[in-house]
């Protein structure tokens, strides 16, 4: 019996998660003999729980192809974390109930560490319940914090955006530093892992060295050492750009910009460390400053996406379907780097049990001895990931991003589920 597939996007979206969706859907369409329709969860996994499914077969070939160059989550995403198997058994049983009703035999879950965990649990419970399900996790996270895979789709594009933005702002500040702003602070994402902040350091190249200080969440913030570093750069170059991760903490372990609220996963809601850093500099050194907070702009910046990233995002979506067709279960397509120069990579298979709930931070050997920059090894790691410009098509000066029709699948259950 030919089974349908279910695809859902999870957590914060990226510039290229839709390229993974494109890879899943196009590859499934190429195997119509074995896979029926691809249903997508409206707003992620909660679309499955509430039986709010989207029929992707109603989308044209060109609309699906356009997902490859469209940022954000075309079907909607959510930060809804399923509980543990015991505590949240009703949630998992509901998922299976909906899957059974819509003859869903393939589950493709596109997300980070939390969704890898969910994917694994769904796989386990379906086995316990005797429901035949193939569950494959498709990696995605701007934070680049998944284990096993060399890097995460979504990261390369935000890294490219931050590297370019840091370079451009540094050129700007350099122009004006003689009489105006001497310190520019750019706040970037990365709650616990400093990968995105590290990308700011790529702006300084051998051909064109720029004064950049990176503040990593992996390195405890030391105000005196930071101020000394700022002063030194300003005295040497006339200015400095500071790239600060939202997750930077002081010696007490407190976020420099703790906003107090928490999201559904229990993560603190951060934001606003840039003005804190700027204020520290202004008070101690008196330098004129400017600060920027890139926020969603960084992870949505499909207009300057990395070609490597787009290619890999598509590849993991495609590989997920191929693994499912090979009968693999509870696995994730991972990116394995086979060579730095020339950069070469291939898709390999990772057991979900080794992926779930493991957070990959920046290794110490990637952070320079003074804690304010990256090592040559880190540069060699990062540089291929931002390579290539995957420009979207334009019309009238604006990118032609697609909005899908997102036609609902008729409900088959008369049961409701409250989130």
Site for a copy of itself in 236-255 (CB under 8 A): none
Of the pair 173, 352, the CB lying nearest a copy of itself is at 173
> Which residue, among 161, 163, 104, 158, has the nearest Cα to 135 in the 3D structure?
104
Say whether residue 291 binds a copy of itself (CB under 8 A): yes
Kindly identify the residues of this chain, within the stretch 146-185, that bind a copy of itself according to CB under 8 A.
160, 163-165, 167-169, 171-176, 178-180, 184
61 to 100: interface string for a copy of itself, x by CB under 8 A: ---------xxxxx-xxxxx--------------------
Residue 114 is among the residues annotated as catalytic for this protein:
no
Among 114, 143, 309, 311, which one carries the catalytic annotation?
143
- 4 scored as a contact of a copy of itself (CB under 8 A): no
Is residue 202 a contact residue for a copy of itself (CB under 8 A)? yes
Please state the closest distance from residue 171 (CB atom) to a copy of itself, in A: 4
Work out how close the CB of 169 gets to a copy of itself at its nearest, in angstroms, rounded to a whole number.
4
Position 403 contacts a copy of itself (CB under 8 A): yes
Please, which residues bridge with residue 5 across strands?
A: 38, 106
> Among 95, 229, 300, 334, which residue sits at the site for a copy of itself (rule: CB under 8 A)?
300
Give me the sign of the Cα torsion angle 134, 140, 143, 149.
positive
CB nearer to a copy of itself: give 21 or 330. Answer: 21
387 binds a copy of itself (CB under 8 A): yes
Provide, rounded to whole angstroms, the least separation between the CB of residue 276 and a copy of itself. Answer: 12
Q: How far is CA 26 from CA 19, 53, 151, 226, 268, in A?
A: 10, 18, 23, 49, 37
Instruction: Identify the three-state secondary structure at position 299.
Output: helix
- Closest residue by Cα to residue 254 from 276, 287, 235, 237: 276
As a whole number of angstroms, the distance between CA 322 and CA 27 comes to 8
By three-state DSSP, how is residue 8 classified? strand
E strands of 370-409, at which residues? 394-395, 398-399
> What angle do the packed helices 223-237 and 273-285 form, to 10 degrees?
70
As measured in angstroms, the least distance from the Cβ of 235 to a copy of itself is 17
- Catalytic center residues: 143
């Amino acid at each position: 019996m030919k089974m349908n597939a279910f695809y859902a996007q999870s957590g914060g979206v990226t510039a290229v998660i839709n390229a993974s969706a494109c890879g899943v859907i196009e590859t499934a369409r190429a195997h119509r003999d074995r896979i029926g329709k691809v249903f997508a969860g409206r707003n992620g996994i909660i679309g499955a729980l509430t039986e709010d499914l989207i029929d992707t077969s109603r989308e044209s070939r060109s609309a699906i192809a356009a997902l490859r160059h469209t940022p954000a989550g075309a079907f909607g995403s959510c930060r809804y974390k399923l509980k543990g198997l015991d505590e949240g058994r009703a949630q998992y049983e509901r998922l299976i109930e909906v899957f059974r009703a819509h003859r869903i035999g393939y589950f493709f879950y596109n997300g980070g560490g939390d969704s890898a965990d969910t994917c694994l649990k769904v796989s386990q419970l379906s086995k316990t319940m005797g429901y035949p399900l193939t569950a494959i996790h498709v990696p995605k996270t701007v934070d680049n914090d998944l284990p096993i895979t060399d890097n995460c789709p979504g990261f390369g594009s935000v890294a490219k955006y931050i590297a370019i933005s840091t370079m451009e702002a540094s050129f700007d500040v350099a122009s004006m530093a003689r009489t105006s702003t001497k310190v520019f602070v750019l706040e970037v994402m990365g709650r616990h892992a400093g990968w995105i902040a590290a990308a700011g350091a790529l702006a300084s190249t051998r051909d064109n060295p720029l004064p950049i200080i990176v503040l990593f969440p992996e390195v405890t913030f030391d105000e005196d050492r930071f101020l000394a570093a700022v002063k030194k750069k300003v005295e040497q170059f006339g200015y400095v750009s500071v790239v600060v991760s939202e997750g930077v903490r002081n010696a007490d372990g407190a976020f420099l910009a703790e906003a107090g609220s928490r999201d559904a996963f229990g993560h603190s809601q951060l934001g606003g460390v840039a003005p804190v850093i700027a204020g520290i500099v202004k008070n101690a050194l008196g330098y004129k400053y400017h600060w920027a907070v890139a926020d969603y702009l960084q992870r949505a910046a499909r207009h300057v996406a990395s070609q490597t990233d787009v290619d890999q995002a598509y590849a993991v979506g495609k590989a997920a379907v191929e693994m499912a067709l090979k009968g693999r279960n509870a696995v994730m397509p991972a990116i394995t780097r086979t060579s730095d120069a020339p950069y070469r990579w291939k898709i390999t298979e990772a057991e979900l049990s080794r992926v779930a709930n493991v957070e990959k931070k920046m290794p110490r050997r990637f952070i320079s001895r003074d804690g304010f920059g990256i090592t040559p090894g880190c540069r060699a790691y990062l540089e291929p990931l931002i390579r290539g410009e995957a420009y979207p098509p334009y019309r009238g000066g604006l990118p032609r991003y697609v909005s899908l029709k997102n036609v609902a699948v008729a409900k088959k259950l008369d049961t409701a589920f409250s989130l």
